[in-house]
């Protein structure tokens, strides 16, 4: 656990002040997550609602909760009770479901639109050219607030391959921001993980989602 503490403090010292570090906690134990929080983590990211609930029941609102995985519509009613930000909205249908469930509990949910900037079939997210229409379509919903964009980049083994993806997402971010759409605030740009966060920051990210560099390797082909 000492390594986690050291890793968190090192990252927090290295990151620019305007960049938020979200600890990606997929598959991590409660003890590991608590160690990261005690070392200075203020926001954690979870990929699965049930896994998040287990941690949430022990931690509560001590930190901000980001949902960073693919959210199924049948999990929304549980997700809105836990999370402060849902980073992975990619359809009108999902946005409407979040809006509906948030209305029931008198909550306004901050959401990001997920951009599939690498145009990879196996990934969620929308293509860049569809982002403006989606955002305009959901801007009328009263219990959600679009506050930014999120993208994964590409898993090719070469971090530099994500640079073009990040550039494209930043271009969309700036375009939407300049449109001044009612109820839309382009404030956050979530790009970059363990291997790519430095490139993400260079291309304009102010949120990075890091798991492996905090907690160490886990049994997964990808690094978060």
CB atoms near residue 57 (< 10 Å): 10
Rounded percentage of the chain residues whose pLDDT exceeds 70:
96
Give a three-class secondary structure readout of the chain. CHHHHHHHHHHHHHCCCCCEEEEECCCCCHHHHHHHHHCCCCEEEECCHHHHHHHHHHHHHHCEEEECCCCCHHHHHHHHHHCCEEEEECCHHHHHHHHHHHHHCCCCEEEEEEECCCCCCCCCCECHHHHHHHHHHHCCCCCEEEEEEEECCCCCCCHHHHHHHHHHHHHHHHHHHHHCCCCEEEEEEEECCCCCHHHHHHCCCCEEEECHHHHCCCCCCCCC
User: For the chain, which residues make up each domain, given as ranges?
Assistant: 2-215
In this predicted structure, what is the pLDDT of residue 117? 85
Does the domain made of 2-215 have the CATH classification 3.20.20.10? yes
In this predicted structure, what is the pLDDT of residue 222? 43
* Mean pLDDT taken over the chain: 94
Those residues of the chain that have pLDDT short of 50 are 220-223
Whole-number Å distance between alpha carbons of 173 and 151? 11
In this predicted structure, what is the pLDDT of residue 9? 97
């Amino acid at each position: 656990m000492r390594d986690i503490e050291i890793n968190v403090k090192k990252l927090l010292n290295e990151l620019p002040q305007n960049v938020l570090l979200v600890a990606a906690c997929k598959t991590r134990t409660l003890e590991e997550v608590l160690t990261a929080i005690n070392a200075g983590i203020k926001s954690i990211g979870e990929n699965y609602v049930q896994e998040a609930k287990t941690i949430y029941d022990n931690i509560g609102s001590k930190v901000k909760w980001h949902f960073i995985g693919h959210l199924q519509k049948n999990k929304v009613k549980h997700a809105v009770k836990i999370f402060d930000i849902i980073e992975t909205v990619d359809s009108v249908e999902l946005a409407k479901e979040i809006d509906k469930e948030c209305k029931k509990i008198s909550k306004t949910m901050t959401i990001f639109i997920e951009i599939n900037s690498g145009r990879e079939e196996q990934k969620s997210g929308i293509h860049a050219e569809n982002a403006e229409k989606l955002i305009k379509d959901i801007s009328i919903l009263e219990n959600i607030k679009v506050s930014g964009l999120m993208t994964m980049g590409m898993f090719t083994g070469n971090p530099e391959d994500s640079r073009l993806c990040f550039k494209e997402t930043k271009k969309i971010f700036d375009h939407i921001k300049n449109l001044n759409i009612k109820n839309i605030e382009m404030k956050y740009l979530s790009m970059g993980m363990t291997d790519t966060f430095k490139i993400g920051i260079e291309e304009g990210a102010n949120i990075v989602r890091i798991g492996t560099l905090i907690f160490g390797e886990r049994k997964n082909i990808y690094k978060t």
